[in-house]
Amino acid sequence: MGRQRYQMNKITETHAVNRMILLFTALYLISYVTRINYGAVIAELVSAEGIQKSLASLALTASAVTYGAGQLISGFLGDRIQAKKLIFSGLLVTIFMNLLIPFCRTPYQMTAVWGINGMAQAFMWPPLVKIMTVLFTEETYKKACVIVSWGSSCGTILVYLLSPVCIYFAGWRAIFVLSALCAAVMAAIWLKKCPGVKEFSGVAATETQERKPLTRNIIFLLPGIMLAIALQGMLRDGVTTWMPSYISETFHLSSKISILTGVVLPVFSIVTFQVTSLIYRKKVRNELLLSGMLYLTGFTAALVLALTNGANAGLSVFLTALLTGSMHGVNLILVCMVPPYFKRFGRISFASGMLNFCTYVGSAVSAFGMAVFSERFGWNSTVFLWSAIALFGGGACLAISKCWGRFAKEA
């Protein structure tokens, strides 16, 4: 690590901080590239292989279920095993699964492989949160979370740009081979450049010092927070996955063109990350209140989208981007900013895993549920469903925002 200055085991030298943030952002980018590539090409897969949307979506559901369940396992292990090793093991497995899926011949084989991939992917985010909370000061952690979150958006942009190119030249299977190669390079860099948090003296004592039992307040608040996170997972991942199909079927565009429209969503999410972070740091420090405001923004976008369904492709893409961007903001606040409050309980990694688990409970429900719902009731009814989910999520956040504010002050 060179000549770095530490304050209570924290990296404080600017250049070293920036290097670490860049490494973590690259890791998160690659984790998205190797996880959402299936969703990016699902419209082409359905078209080229003649598979029903509901059957093709089984792999997405399996991935979301195993990813969500894996969050709990990863979160538990992240407080006990060196986080660097957990992340590296996840990268290795995801490389093999991405290389294996092009050889799958049935939706059920794809489901099995992508389910394993989801479990492997779970060994990245909770340990990464643990590393950042150990290495960075509180303020640096908050800024780092925003920048690292760009990795998800940049990874999504990369996948949605490369997927049509791969489809055009070599078919939908090529995107998985390319993703695996990128992950292999990242694994080598990670092993060489990432510090193991146990290397820093005093870290173990800092993490376990005065470990307190969970209070009655946080036990009361957790169900509401978990519900809000699950609902944003339904909207963020469900809408992102099926937006190309929605655009393709509503406006009769080719799957390649509709996939390209998916680039707008992550671009907008980067803007949302910045705006949300600015409001959080300068105006609204209550995580649940801000999440409620973002939910209501998403509700408005979904309602207008439903009322103007089929009117204009550009407007539909913009409103969908506003909806998913709002959900990315909710995810940033609830999944990234809430876990540090568990530091005094000695459960940062577990809290991160548990809350991220809720995201993918919602994602699992939406991946399969939205496919079935849209097939049975049509896209306009599906968009009205999106607006109802956003309204309910906003209400859940606002209902517990005052109680959360009191708890946060005590922390």
pLDDT at 90: 94
pLDDT at 323: 93
CA nearest to 314, candidates 268, 256, 264: 264
Say if residue 115's pLDDT is above 80.
Answer: yes
In this prediction, residues 320-346 reach a mean pLDDT of 87
pLDDT at 259: 67
Percentage of the chain lying above the pLDDT 90 cut: 35
Q: Where are the alpha helices (DSSP H) in 171-263?
A: 174-193, 203-208, 216-251, 255-261
In this prediction, residues 378-387 reach a mean pLDDT of 90
208-217, 235-244, 245-254 — which is least confidently predicted? Answer: 208-217
Say if residue 80's pLDDT is above 80.
Answer: no
Distance in angstroms (rounded) separating the CA atoms of residues 144 and 8: 18
Structure tokens belonging to residue 259: 């996939």
Contacts of 237 (CB under 8 A, 6+ apart): 39, 64, 359, 360, 362, 363, 366, 367
pLDDT band of 213, cuts 50, 70, 90: low
pLDDT at 234: 92
54-58, 198-202, 227-231, 300-304 — which is least confidently predicted? Answer: 198-202
pLDDT at 211: 58
In this prediction, residues 126-143 reach a mean pLDDT of 86
Identify the bridge partners of residue 7 per DSSP, sorted by sequence position.
10
Q: Are 139 and 133 in contact (CB under 8 A)?
A: no
Over residues 264-299, the pLDDT tens digits come to 777 888 888 889 999 998 889 899 999 999 999 999
Say if residue 210's pLDDT is above 60.
Answer: no
Task: Return mean pLDDT, the chain.
Answer: 84
pLDDT at 65: 83
Say if residue 355's pLDDT is above 80.
Answer: yes
pLDDT at 208: 42
Q: Choose from 133-142, 209-218, 282-291, 309-318 the range with maximum mean pLDDT.
A: 282-291
pLDDT at 77: 81
pLDDT at 91: 96
| Coil, helix or strand at residue 221 | helix
| 130 vs 28, more confident | 28
Say if residue 209's pLDDT is above 70.
Answer: no
pLDDT band of 5, cuts 50, 70, 90: very low
pLDDT at 168: 87
Q: What is the DSSP letter of 336?
A: I
Q: Where are the alpha helices (DSSP H) in 283-378?
A: 287-307, 313-331, 348-377
pLDDT at 196: 63
Over residues 35-63, the pLDDT tens digits come to 989 988 887 888 888 888 778 888 988 88
